[in-house]
Structure 1
Amino acid sequence: MKTWSEVAEVQPMVSKIITNSIMKDRISHAYLIQGARGTGKEAIAVLIAKVLFCENLDGVNPCLTCNACKRIDSHNHPDVHWIEPDGQSIKIEQIRNLQKEFTYSGLESDQKVYMIKGAETLTANAANRILKFLEEPSQKTTAIMLTENSQSILPTIRSRCQNIDLQPLNARRFQEKLIESGLNEASAKLMSALTNNLDEAMEWSQDEWFAEARKLVVQLIETFTDNSNDVYLFIHNHWLQHFKERIKIEQGIDLLLLAFKDILYSHLGNEESLVFFQQDERLERLSMYFSQEKLISILHGLLDAKRKLKQNVHPTLVMEQVTLQIER
């Protein structure tokens, strides 16, 4: 999304709100942009920054070709500062360094912008430091905070920002884009359930790691149905060996959620909603093994596992706990 008209195609209300602000020269000193992955958070943040720095602004749209626009695209503009999680969180040292940068005059103008990606990962100390920054804004400073979960942000921070909520993308429209890009219908349905990002979906569809991840999900579920004592061995010898990083474990849990939802859909006769399994003998066998009550309990457990991962609980412990809950 390079222009506000392109933003309007997927986020019409957001485009209208921000372009009205631009036309009235009332760009906020702080934005909190919330939306799921792929809904356009970063693209909108970059557009706002370009509007502030573009050398040849055309109404509400940046020219996209001037030196400032190009450097913002490459994250190389001296007065546009990006803060991203260092590991699992954004730490107070990162905010201190940012504040130190902002004590100096802008290199090319009085305007300065800072973008915070993954704002929900701010540590308590870092969040309080940002709060003080927001309470005493410079006339030429614009803060843009990006998050997938604004409820994890301090209420005092939220209250000092203009909150921009992005709507989920239309799943059917996204599936059509994936099919146009070469995926079959089954793969398009699965990918659209996992991400709203076209490039990411295409990359995963061709990734051997992802193909193996799907196989491991099926193998793990079938291990539960064998009534054997091999589940914990499978978790340690296969699952955790493949899903090594925290973000990869989250992807594994997302796949498990989709798989168990499909088993529940099979119970309910809702075959059109299937995204992980095909309607075949395997799915019928799994739906006979897992009751509806048990499936609902498993889905709650998997959602709780995702929350624990976000809270930095050790991934091995998270998987052992969710395994124990499914086994009961």
Structure 2
Amino acid sequence: MTKTWKELNETQPEVMTMLKNSITKGRVAHAYIFEGEKGTGKKETSLAYAKSLLCENPVDGYQPCEECSNCKRITSGNHPDVHSVEPEGLSIKKEQIKSLQEEFSKKSVESNRKIYSIVHADKMSVQAANSLLKFLEEPQSDTIAILMTEQIQRMLPTILSRCQILPFRPLSPENIKKKLIEHGVDGQTAAVISRLTHNFKEGLQISNEEWFAQAQKIVLKLYEVLKANPMKALIYLQEEWFLHFKEKEQLDRGLDLLFLIYKDLLYIQLDKRNQVIFQNKQGEFENHALHISQRRLADKMGHILEAKRKLMSNTNPQLLMEQLVLNLQEGSSFV
């Protein structure tokens, strides 16, 4: 799915400003690295930039018109002067880079520029990376490279030094929430998901999972059991929790949801009610927040974060949750 320059500017304003300036001030670099988490718009931005550079009727001198032949062919992946390389299997092979170099040794077919992008550039084999390095060391004036990566630390320093690096920021929770609502997700669910992922596509996928809908109910119930009758919390783990949170990744998500509940209590105490995630529970949480000190609340949040850390170090999930429940109910649970 392609995105307009305006849409990309809403989520990555710094990157889009730099790219705009490169065009309007005549400072287009011969090589860029777009680096950032999955789902931050790197691929969409590379397409938009290619269209801007080859557009026949750019709006305001830099935005692609989306209507000319060049724009339309880039959108459909059929422009003879725009090429993309992606990993074949687990890596990008030397042969792929050599094929690209041969293609670019020819004169531009239609435009005065040739643009190539390398997706997951960190997955180039050593031979492929060295082959690309020679290409970057002797740049042709009409050739522009866009390398994309989620793991910039895995790339050769010699390649990094020859490229202009543009960092793509994770999408803000507000952006994720807004986009989810635009795609039909209810506001409450969108608010929760926006705190669990920076990736819109992943967020949309989560919103369609029956497992996730049920997970929210089970986590809220655990919180209510801990508050109303702490001694029954261990029984609740056996009867409900472990039946639903079976995999490590699922348990990690459950801990994230539990953390958000206690974070809501803190927001209420700090009079930041507009930041409360579980708005449908705000009335109950208001009352709960009156009966727990900020220090005790911080301790509980700390226990959840510690449980998440231990989960990643292969601690037995059942023992981990039982210990967490004991820590959360230590003394009186709301003192």
Give the TM-score category using the shorter length.
Answer: 0.5 to 0.7
| 1:158 aligns with one of 160, 165, 172 | 160
Q: 1:86-125: per-residue Cα shift (whole Å, max 9, x none)?
A: 5xxx52xx232421321422586372402314x5xx35x7
1:295 pairs, out of 301, 307, 310, with: 301
Q: Where does residue 227 of structure 1 map in the other structure?
A: 234
Deviations along 1:244-302, one digit per CA (max 9) or x if unpaired, are xxxxx3x7635532431322442573573432583437x959x98x9633532432553
From the superposition, tell whether residues 261 and 215 of structure 1 become closer, same or farther in structure 2 (CA, over 3 Å): closer
RMSD: 4.6
The question of whether the paired residues in 1 share the 8 Å contact of 2:9 and 2:16 is answered with yes
What is the aligned-residue identity percentage?
Answer: 31
Say if 2:73 and 2:79, in contact at 8 Å, map to a contact too. Answer: yes
The residue number in structure 2 matching 1:100 is 98
2:333 match: none
The worse-fitting range, judged by mean Cα deviation, of 99-108 and 176-185 is 176-185
Cα distance between partner residues in 1 of 2:8 and 2:162? 24
Alpha-carbon offset, residue 210 of structure 1: 3.5
Does 2:121 match 1:113? no
- Stretches of structure 1 that go unaligned for 5 or more consecutive residues are 244-248, 309-316
The partner residue of 1:83 within 76, 81, 86 is 86
Deviates more, 1:132-141 or 1:15-24: 132-141
Question: In 2, Cα distance between the equivalents of 1:304 and 1:70?
Answer: 51
**Could you tell me whether the CA contact under 8 Å between 1:30 and 1:142 is conserved in 2?**
yes
Task: Please tell me whether the aligned partners of residues 131 and 156 of structure 1 are also in contact (alpha carbons under 8 angstroms).
Answer: no
Q: Please name the residue that 2:245 is paired with.
A: 239
CA distance in 2, matches of 1:134, 1:296: 46
Residue of 64, 71, 74 corresponding to 1:62:
64
Q: What corresponds to 1:313 in structure 2? A: none
Q: Which residue number corresponds to residue 329 of structure 2?
A: none
Q: CA deviation at 1:70?
A: 2.9
Q: Does 1:324 align with 2:331?
A: no
Matched, 1:26 2:33: no
Distance 1:195 1:61, change over 3 A: same
AA at the equivalent of 2:99 = E
Query: Residues 252 and 325 from structure 1, CA distance in 2 versus in 1: closer, same or farther, beyond 3 angstroms?
Result: closer
Q: Cα distance 1:129–1:177, how it changes in 2: closer, same or farther (>3 A)?
A: closer
Instruction: Find the aligned partners of 1:228 and 1:128 in 2 and give their Cα distance.
Output: 57
Contact 2:97 2:128 (8 Å CA) reproduced: no
Can you list the C-alpha shifts for 1:40-60, whole angstroms capped at 9, x where unaligned? Answer: 322211112223444555532
Tell me the distance in 2 between the aligned counterparts of 1:292 and 1:114: 46
Q: Secondary structure at the match of 1:160?
A: coil
Q: Matched residue of 2:64: which SS? A: coil
Correspondence list, 1:1-328, <5 A: 2-36=3-37, 38-54=39-55, 56-57=57-58, 59-77=61-79, 79-83=82-86, 86=89, 90-91=90-91, 94-106=92-104, 109=109, 111-117=114-120, 119=121, 122-123=122-123, 126=125, 129-130=128-129, 132-137=131-136, 138-139=139-140, 140-148=142-150, 150-151=152-153, 153=155, 155-169=157-171, 171-172=173-174, 175=177, 179=181, 183-195=185-197, 201=203, 204-215=206-217, 226-227=233-234, 238-240=244-246, 249=249, 253-254=252-253, 256-266=255-265, 269-270=269-270, 272=273, 273-275=275-277, 278-279=281-282, 280=284, 292-302=298-308, 320=316, 324=320, 327=323
Aligned partner of 1:113: which letter? Y
User: What TM-score do the two structures reach when normalised by structure 2?
Assistant: 0.65
Change (3 A) 1:221 1:31: farther
- Deviation, structure 1 residue 222: 8.5
The 3 A distance-change label for structure 1 pair 217 and 325 is closer
1:99 maps to amino acid:
I
Q: Distance in 2 between matches of 1:303 and 1:147?
A: 26
Please give the secondary structure, in 2, of the residue aligned with 1:165.
Answer: strand
8 A contact 1:174–1:196 mirrored in 2: yes
3-state SS of paired residue (2:98): helix
- Larger radius of gyration, structure 1 or 2? 2
User: Could you say what secondary structure the match of 1:193 adopts?
Assistant: coil
Unaligned runs of 5+ in 2: 325-335
| Equivalent pair of 1:261/1:299 in contact (CA under 8 Å) | no
3-state SS of the aligned residue for 1:60?
coil
- Name the aligned partner's letter for residue 12 of structure 2: Q
